[in-house]
Amino acid sequence: PCWQVEDFVVAQECTRCSSFQAKTVAACSLTGFIEKISCATSKKDELKSCRSAVMEAHVFWRFVSTMMCVAAIFGVLVVCRQRVLDRKAQEKVRKQIESI
């Protein structure tokens, strides 16, 4: 590809591939997004795979929210387990006091 060996200008910003493009354009198979570039020396127009900033942000926030939910679930489990252990300890102390 000319964009690996020459200077280029982005002719069309990074956009999502259509269903037709996804089947026919090889660059779409990597990320699902392409941008149209114009090579300076050879004057060729080519399609290049790219990463969408909006999609990256969406994936990042989905990951963060999933991790927050998992942390909240495990936090609740820790609190519940601590209460069970506290009750067992109180019961043990109560039995020791009754036996005296």
Q: If you ran DSSP here, which 8-state letter would residue 95 be given?
A: H
Q: How many whole angstroms from its chain centre is CA 57?
A: 8
- For domain 2-51, the CATH class is alpha beta
Total-model pTM: 0.57
- The 10s digit of each residue's pLDDT in 42-95 is 788 888 888 878 888 888 999 999 999 999 999 999 999 999 999 999 999 999
Determine the Cα–Cα distance for residues 1 and 3; give it in Å rounded to an integer: 6
Q: Residues 63, 27: contact at Cβ < 8 Å?
A: no
Using DSSP bridges, classify how beta strands 33-39 and 8-16 pair: parallel, antiparallel or unpaired: antiparallel
Enumerate the H helices of the chain as residue ranges: 2-5, 19-24, 28-31, 53-99
For 20-48, the pLDDT digits (tens) are 887 888 888 778 888 888 888 878 888 88
